[in-house]
Amino acid sequence: MLSSLQAYSRFIYSLSDQHPSIRSSTLIVVPLGATMGSTRGVLHFDLAVSLRVVEEIDFQAGRIDYYSYTVERGGARLYWYDPQPHPNDTGLAPTHPHHKHIHPDIKHNRIPAPNISFTRPNLPVLIEEIERILLHD
């Protein structure tokens, strides 16, 4: 799916078909030159849960170069994922540089993110996490 703008666009625009828990989507995929693309927008779920998505994808290399995924409820940030390296945090080494920011002290409290990757789409993992943890309160 990370092999072309067209393939990734089909994937993004069919997420609601694959995941009925998505109530609406503002995700868009835009080309950034001949081999790059950007995905931006928000997936909305029940219970005022949303997933904000920012991705930069190199389709020639077949990889995500950068991402930021933020999960909110009612506008309050619950957690987020990013690949910003934290080489001095040895607890993150198993999934370096992928990690999740969680409460308390969400900016500094980070845990490994074993299911997040640069080489495959992350959105199915994130959507399933939201469905499993947040939509069954």
Query: Using one digit for the tens of pLDDT, what is the confidence trace for 37-56?
Result: 999 999 999 999 999 999 99
* pLDDT reported for residue 134: 95
C-alpha span between 3 and 37 (Å, rounded):
11
| pLDDT above 90: residue 21 | yes
Domain count, the chain: 1
**% pLDDT > 70, the chain:** 99
pLDDT bracket for residue 1 (50, 70, 90) = confident
pTM of the model: 0.95
Average pLDDT score over residue span 12-36: 96
Calculate ∠ Cα 122-55-74, nearest 5°.
80
Contact 100/111 with Cβ under 8 angstroms?
Answer: yes
pLDDT in tens, 96-135: 999 999 999 999 999 999 999 999 999 999 999 999 999 9
3-state secondary structure of 125: helix
Domain containing residue 27 = 5-134
| pLDDT above 90: residue 15 | yes
| pLDDT above 80: residue 137 | no
| Residue of 49, 55, 2, 1 lying closest to 24 (CA atoms) | 49
